[in-house]
Structure 1
Amino acid sequence: MTIPLSPVRKKRRPTPSKGAGRREQLPLLLLIGQRIKAVRLKRGLSQDDLAIGIPADRSHLALIETGRVSVTAITLYKLAFALDCEVSSLLPSREEVRKALRKKPGAD
């Protein structure tokens, strides 16, 4: 068996185009984020207060609330405990999701 003497070359990633680094908002994530924000505001908490309660970084919480990152099941439970509510109250109904999916992107 022969061992190659030349170094293994890694494939180069293509350079992202302008704006490619932006995170895309998915309708379901946006709805979940809006529900979390609504409950947080109803409880009179700031993002900083809630971030300390779960614990997480405030900027990560902001990304969740704007639907730019997925929220894990564990984080949903932490949020529910910190907000003193049921996890189901942080999730949109099927009808809300259907309406959001029928909406055309960019149409408000």
Structure 2
Amino acid sequence: MPSASPPPDWVLARRRAVGDRIRAVRLNANLTQEAVALAAGVDRPSVVRIEQGQQSPTLDTLIRLADAIGVPLADLVR
């Protein structure tokens, strides 16, 4: 089975942009990474990696993060 090739640079840039939006919305809501992780049912290191663009969250995780922060999903991914 061939190994997956890394995503192209433009995908990584968009992933970082989504992470930046998640961080900005979280900070605007005055929430810590720990509080969001707990409310979303994920671990804090995952929130850190998502915000830094190092991890691609699943759609389910994005929905949970949006709910934990109290914003529509579209606010995180536009």
Same fold (TM over 0.5): yes
1:76 match: 62
Superposition misfits of 4+ residues, deviation over 4 angstroms: none
Judging by fraction of residues, say which structure has more helix: 2
How many residues align? The count is: 69
- 1-structure distance, mates of 2:69, 2:36: 8
- 1-structure distance, mates of 2:67, 2:45: 20
Structure 1 residue 84 displacement after superposition: 1.0
Q: Which ranges in structure 2 are unaligned for 5 or more consecutive residues?
A: 1-8
- State, as a whole percentage, how many aligned pairs show the same letter: 35
- Confirm whether residue 91 of structure 1 aligns to residue 44 of structure 2: no
Letter in 2 for 1:36: I
Which of 38, 49, 63 is the aligned partner of 1:52?
38
Q: Which entry has the higher C-alpha Rg, 1 or 2? A: 1
TM-score by length of 2: 0.83
Letter in 2 for 1:82: A
SS at match of 1:33: helix
Q: Which ranges in structure 1 are unaligned for 5 or more consecutive residues?
A: 1-23, 93-108
CA RMSD of aligned residues (A): 1.5
